[in-house]
Structure 1
Amino acid sequence: MSLKRNSLFNLAGLLLPLGLSLLTVPAYIHLIGVDRYGVLAIAWLLLGYFGMFDLGLGRATVHRIAELRDVAAAERRATFHTAVLVNAAIGVVGGILLALGAELFFANGLKVAPALKTELAAAAPLLGLSLPIATLTGVLTGALQGRERFASSNIAGVLSTVLFQGVPLAVAWLWGPNVSVLLLAGMATRLVTLVVLWAVCTREFGWDGRLRFDRAQIAPLLRFGGWITVASLIAPFLTIIDRFAIGAVMGAAAVTFYAIPYQMTQRIVIIPTALTNALFPRLSAMKSLEEAAMLSRESMLILVALMTAPVVLGVLLAGPALSAWLGDAFAARATLPAEILLVAFWFNALALLPFTMLQAGGRPQTVALVLAIELLPYLAALYLGLHHFGLVGCAAAFLLRCALDYALLSFHADRRATPVRPILTGAAMLGLAVGISRVTQPFSGHWLAAAALLLLLVAVETWRIAPARIRTPALERLASLRRPAPSPGQH
């Protein structure tokens, strides 16, 4: 199965939802307002965080089924069925805890208008019902990825996003912007996706009308998934705590000015996510450490080559893009946080590769340890940044955490997979991009000259570090374009 083809399937499955989000976010803000949008953002963050209650079974299912690639189909089917049954039970327990936690937070931990609190009355139970749907979706997707059926899993993912973005928006337009009704519409769309994934999985693994529980499959799943769970307790907390802190200190409206740049800049990880999702089952099945290290190093060079130029361009154009998209007033508050977040997610994108290497190599405990080490320094930086610099301070704290995350994960992964110089050079170029955007006016003469020079340097560095498997076809293609076409009489 082609790693390139699987990566492209993953990339398409991530790019299509991004385009849809760009279209629907302004419509959501227009229809429901910044306060309701901030509340919805926090509600979905709560659901995402409590998704840790799958006990890492989604990732463990990918790893285990990839390991069982060459065994009898019955053993893979037993793994799949066991993961589904265990996950369903755990999802129900997690859903109860989520409903209780969400009700407490909505009542006491979120600054919103009294009328909006009334709309939140039914939100907590709906989030609780949504959790088992979300965790089961993760296991079903993981089962397909373990078999490297990325086309099927991404088609289901695109369907999910289209419904999730479109149906609540239609509900808001037809019946008004009630938060609980919007959450109910979102839950219904996730249920449709779950049914579609189940139909695809039953074709892949076989189905005779009943689920078979195999005790022998529990130990390898939970042993791997247990450390994934430890990481899952910490990683989502590190990812979402900034917006909870902003909501508690500055109010729900401020969350919108941070959450939208965060959601948009976060999309740059679609390229490494597409690649590492395709790499994970491949690395899990590899027996040679040297072969895995060489594949990972080449993948890292490809990531740096592919990521740096778009992120540099994104930093340079963040202000004008936000002004054109959401207005000058919004851009005035969101541009600098967006620029900082772009640099942060560049580091986060690179960190996905050593993260994947460690987990695929059977070392999920190392990932959990690294995340635990980051926790207290990040909370301290977030507290200081928020209280002294507001949204900009939150973004800067997140940047420091992402850089530390990459450094620690790379240190513990195979160092043969870490090309240090290209990464430091890329980071320096991103710093220059932020500097240009701060000291020049967009599209002024100075801005154009500095941006053109920087992009030229980025292009030269990208070509220099690109692996031969990218440069050679590009040179051959260029040579064929320059070669004169044969005359009609030539053969």
Structure 2
Amino acid sequence: MSVKANALANYAGQLYTTLVGIVVYPFYLAWMGEEAYGLVGFFIVLQAWLNLLDMGMSPTLARETARAATHQGEQWQLLRRLVRSLEIIFLGLAVVMVLSIVLGSDWIASQWLEVKTLSHDEVAWCIVLMGFMIGMRWLASLYRSGIQGLERQVSLNVANVVIATFKFVGVLLILQFVSTQPSAYFEYQLAIAMLELVVLGGMFYRLLGGREQWHGFSWDVLRPVLPFAGGVAYTAGIWVLMTQLDKLLLSSFLPLSEYGYFTLVVVVANAIMTLTMPISRALMPRMTGLLASQEEAQMLRLYRRASQFIAATLLPVAGMVALYGGQLLYAWTGNMEAAQWGAPILFWYALGNGLLAIGAFQYYLQYAHGRLRLHVIYNTVSVLIVVPVVVVAAWQWQAIGVAVAWCGFRLLSFLLWTPFVHARFAPGIHRDWMTRDILPCAAATALMLLLYQWLGLSLWSLSRPWIFASLTAMGIAILMVNALVSSIGRDMILRRLQERKHARATH
């Protein structure tokens, strides 16, 4: 499969999943209530923290499957033995994970969460269900990574769309006709987690193929990938600490009802990052394969074009969400209190996530080369700075404090760290990368947003559908400008015009 086909499939799947979530989340809030929705947010944070037990094995499997697909032969048999070894490790850790959550459910419900209206038993049972669900989704992530590494992302996204439909839309039937209690929500999601595990596991095994006997745990196969996996695990752990510590602390500092509002802010801000996931999933295996085939120049060309595409499409989204976050939250939920509470917080998270999405490209270079030493050093220094800052900000200023701290650190990282990584892995690329790939789109986006402010456009007086329509039109206008100022956009436009001209000439 081509990078374009995989990227388009990823975008289609991610767009569907994001849009269906956007549509149904307001129903969750309205039907379940703020505290129950806060439990949904707590589950998302808990799942992110327990992914630390992955220990870098899922990204490692994705990379090894990409390498095996390039070389085939004996490498393919080694891959099958690696898969079985990782399955055994994942299954054992999943059991430990589930038991830990089940045994700690009573303490979490009574001591950590600030619950006012929901019963203690209801909250504790929901946490038990969370534990089983997290264990299953975590094991399914191993198979998902393998499918991504094999670049069978069209099939994967078809499966993701079906599962997302059951996960997001199907539960509305439960809430509407069975019960609005949070336990009903989590019991249904547990059943979908079982379905997801079976479907993805079956897909991956069919792709591996072969009738050879599957062996058990093999330390000899696992040992060579441990240095790379260790680097990924360490950096992933620090990454979870930096990106989820604020959300974990606020789950205790904020009342559960306000944490429900905060969850809405996080969902919108994270939607910015999800726009980069499809391209990164298609990009990293292909970059790894190109380097393995000694095609570094082609790899760097792909890297720059992908960077420019993300800058042209993502910066307008981040800017619009930051500037019109309150209107967006109100149009989405119909809850004015949630919109007013979340607007100033969303401003900083949206800008920070926009910077993060662009700055993440330097990691893709390190991943493709399989050398993560610099990434380990960077994350080690970062966590020593970020953790105390976030703890103080959450304690003193709660949500707004951690949002400002998040954006500030992302800006410093982008300005200082990205050029350093480029100098080590792609010498001479940074100036062109900044001036030709990133800055034109950033400048065009900023100028368009300033124009909107100068025009004094007021959206609060509009109805909710018209707010959505207005924001969409404003965002599309910025995208069109970026298509003209970016070289990749101009190339696409010129190519289309030439194709039409050729088609007319032949007729």
Distance in 2 separating the partners of 1:401 and 1:102: 34
Map of 1:23-102 to 2, 5 A cutoff? Answer: 23-69=23-69, 70-72=71-73, 73-100=76-103
Distance in 1 separating the partners of 2:133 and 2:482: 46
Once the two structures are TM-superposed, the CA of residue 141 in structure 1 deviates from its matched residue by: 0.9
Deviates more, 1:409-418 or 1:36-45: 409-418
Q: Specify the alignment match of 1:363 in structure 2.
A: 371
Opposite residue 420 of structure 2, the aligned amino acid is F
User: What is the root-mean-square deviation in Å for CA atoms of aligned residues?
Assistant: 3.2
Opposite residue 135 of structure 2, the aligned amino acid is P
Q: Specify the alignment match of 2:496 in structure 1.
A: 477
3-state DSSP class of the match of 1:363? coil
Deviations 1:116-144 (A, max 9, x none): 32212223333332233122211101111
Deviations 1:364-422 (A, max 9, x none): 34333322222233234334544555433222222123334444255224354542235
Deviates more, 1:152-161 or 1:61-70: 152-161
Opposite residue 279 of structure 2, the aligned amino acid is L
Opposite residue 181 of structure 1, the aligned amino acid is A
Once the two structures are TM-superposed, the CA of residue 166 in structure 1 deviates from its matched residue by: 2.9
Pair 1:140-2:143 in alignment: yes
Deviates more, 1:321-330 or 1:431-440: 431-440
TM-score by length of 2: 0.84
Pair 1:398-2:398 in alignment: no
Q: Specify the alignment match of 2:313 in structure 1.
A: 306
Deviates more, 1:140-149 or 1:268-277: 268-277
Distance in 1 separating the partners of 2:474 and 2:53: 49
Distance in 2 separating the partners of 1:438 and 1:125: 48
Once the two structures are TM-superposed, the CA of residue 10 in structure 1 deviates from its matched residue by: 0.8
Q: Specify the alignment match of 1:193 in structure 2.
A: 196
Once the two structures are TM-superposed, the CA of residue 4 in structure 1 deviates from its matched residue by: 0.8
Pair 1:270-2:274 in alignment: yes
Q: Specify the alignment match of 2:384 in structure 1.
A: 376
Distance in 1 separating the partners of 2:206 and 2:395: 54
Once the two structures are TM-superposed, the CA of residue 485 in structure 1 deviates from its matched residue by: 6.0
Once the two structures are TM-superposed, the CA of residue 268 in structure 1 deviates from its matched residue by: 2.1
Q: Specify the alignment match of 2:116 in structure 1.
A: 113
Deviations 1:20-78 (A, max 9, x none): 11111111011110111012211232022202212221111011111122222433322
Number of matched pairs: 481
Deviates more, 1:389-398 or 1:44-53: 389-398
TM-score by length of 1: 0.87
Once the two structures are TM-superposed, the CA of residue 205 in structure 1 deviates from its matched residue by: 0.8
Map of 1:153-232 to 2, 5 A cutoff? Answer: 153-206=156-209, 208=211, 211-213=214-216, 214-232=218-236
Once the two structures are TM-superposed, the CA of residue 436 in structure 1 deviates from its matched residue by: 7.6
Once the two structures are TM-superposed, the CA of residue 160 in structure 1 deviates from its matched residue by: 2.5
Change (3 A) 1:175 1:275: same
Change (3 A) 1:427 1:372: farther
Distance in 1 separating the partners of 2:140 and 2:429: 32
Aligned mate of 1:420, from 414, 426, 434: 434
Once the two structures are TM-superposed, the CA of residue 471 in structure 1 deviates from its matched residue by: 2.3
CA contact (8 A) 1:315 1:339 kept: yes
Q: Specify the alignment match of 1:279 in structure 2.
A: 283
Gaps of at least 5 residues in structure 1 are: 445-450
Opposite residue 56 of structure 2, the aligned amino acid is G
Distance in 2 separating the partners of 1:291 and 1:76: 27
3-state DSSP class of the match of 1:269? helix
Once the two structures are TM-superposed, the CA of residue 180 in structure 1 deviates from its matched residue by: 3.3
Pair 1:3-2:6 in alignment: no
Deviates more, 1:113-122 or 1:96-105: 96-105
Distance in 2 separating the partners of 1:243 and 1:437: 32
Distance in 2 separating the partners of 1:438 and 1:58: 45
CA contact (8 A) 1:62 1:281 kept: yes
CA contact (8 A) 2:444 2:485 kept: no
Gaps of at least 5 residues in structure 2 are: 461-471
Q: Specify the alignment match of 1:297 in structure 2.
A: 304
Aligned mate of 1:233, from 224, 231, 237: 237
Deviates more, 1:44-53 or 1:200-209: 200-209
Deviations 1:264-296 (A, max 9, x none): 221122332111111111122223444433332
